[in-house]
Amino acid sequence: MIRALAILLLCQLAGTVLQQGFGLPMPGPVLGFVLLVVVFLYTGGPGPALRDTAQGLLRHMGLLFVPAGAGVVGELTVLKQNAVALLIAIPVSTVLGLLVTGMLMQWFMRREGGADA
Partner 1 sequence: MHELLPLFHIWVYLQTQPLLWLTVTLCVWELARALDIRARHHALSNPTVMAITIMAGLLLLTRTSYQTYFSGAEYIQFLLGPATVALAVPMYANWPVIRRNFLAITVSLTAGSMVAAGSAMLILHLLHAPRMVIVSLGPKSVTTPIAMGISQDLGGNPSLTAVFVMITAMFGILIYPFVFSAGRITDWRARGLAAGVAMHGLGTARMLTIDETAGAFAGLAIGLNGVITSLFLPVMIALFGI
CA atoms 99, 57, 34, 13: torsion sign: positive
Nearest Cα to Cα of residue 2 among 43, 49, 62: 49
Any contact of residue 47 with partner 1 (CB under 8 A)? no
**Cβ 87 to partner 1, closest distance in Å?**
10
Considering the complex, what minimum distance in angstroms separates the CB of residue 115 from partner 1?
Answer: 10
Q: How far is the CB of 18 from partner 1 (least distance, A)?
A: 13
Select 17 or 89, whichever has its Cβ closest to partner 1: 89
Number of residues that bind partner 1 (CB under 8 A): 76
Write each residue from 84 to 113 as x if it is in contact with partner 1 (CB under 8 A), else as -, in one continuous string.
xxx-xxxxxxxxxxxxxxxxxxx-xxx-x-
Q: How far is CA 67 from CA 54, 63, 64, in A?
A: 21, 8, 7
Q: Applying CB under 8 A, does 37 fall inside the site for partner 1?
A: yes
> 27-33: which pairs have CB atoms within 8 A and are 24 or more residues apart?
32/8
Residue type, 10: L
Instruction: Work out whether 79 is an interface residue with partner 1 (CB under 8 A).
Output: yes
